[in-house]
Amino acid sequence: MALATPAAARYLRRLFELPADQAGIAPDGTPEPQPLVLYWQQPILGAGGDSLGNLRALLINPQTKSATWLILSYRVNLQEQLRLIPVEQIETADAQGIRVTVSPAQVEQLVPFELRRLSPSTADVAGAPDYAGPWLVVQSDETPQAPDGVSIPLRWKTRVFSQFETYLGRVRGCMLNPTLHTVSHILLFQERLIPRWVAIAESDILKFDEPELIVRLTKDEVNQLPKWQKSDFLDEPNPANPALPAGEPNS
């Protein structure tokens, strides 16, 4: 008897196990286009498969919830450099990384960017090394804005709170509509005894701001969300043979 392919197994799980908002199954049972799965420190691969660097953050228009630019991080003489890649230049996102139409020779021609520093007050962190409260955006006149003047960074480890100011976890990535590039889900990392990722639908996000995100869900409701797994959306490479998918991906 032939074994199911990873794609077939993923389709069955989407059809029967995933929540409706994540399944991406049309009413007639056919799968809709796979979302673009982006997570922080994900490799960014240029034309020809050459590594350009890693995903440092994502610029999001808070009004339309659309992704506008990837923030590429790479190093020159040990110094981190940030450049903006328009989301229209994304070809696909797979287990190996985000594939874009930018060549290594074009990286220096991309728009430079600088992330504003987030800093809590001294009183907030005094005696609280695991401080999880609100962070302040420290900016100066020289800090550049997004080219459109509207988009704000959705960055790695952005803190997520409920509408009742309960700390829920940190952002680790997001899922985008592959055509419209709108955010469909935020990937939240829950710092629990057994850590896990969950996907929070865009419709549950009340406040989309740089220092923090506010969602309508309570902590109990977030705990009831199913564990989010990369294997539902990506074929992970097999460590023994990168040409084959892994049996148990690191999610």
CA distance 217 to 136: 23
CA distance 1 to 244: 20
> Residue 90 above 80 pLDDT?
yes
* Domain annotation covers residue 89: yes
* Domain annotation covers residue 175: yes
What SS3 state is found at 131? coil
* Domain annotation covers residue 230: no
Lowest mean pLDDT among 27-31, 139-143, 159-163, 219-223: 139-143
> Residue 1 above 50 pLDDT?
no
* Domain annotation covers residue 27: no
* Domain annotation covers residue 105: yes
DSSP 25: B
Instruction: Give the pTM.
Output: 0.77
Above pLDDT 70, what percent of the chain?
69
CA distance 82 to 63: 24
What SS3 state is found at 179? coil
* Domain annotation covers residue 251: no
User: Which residues, including other chains, have CB under 8 Å from residue 81's CB and lie 6 or more apart?
Assistant: 73, 74, 75, 112
Provide the number of structural domains found in the chain.
1
> Residue 31 above 80 pLDDT?
no
Write out pLDDT tens, residues 4-25.
Answer: 566 666 666 666 566 666 666 6
* Domain annotation covers residue 149: yes
Q: Are 246 and 237 in contact (CB under 8 A)?
A: yes
The angle at the Cα of 239, spanning 237 to 242, to the nearest 5 degrees, equals 50
Q: Which domain holds residue 194?
A: 33-119+132-224
* Domain annotation covers residue 192: yes
Q: Band the pLDDT of 176: cuts 50, 70, 90.
A: very high
Report the CATH number that the domain containing residue 207 is assigned in CATH: 2.30.30.240
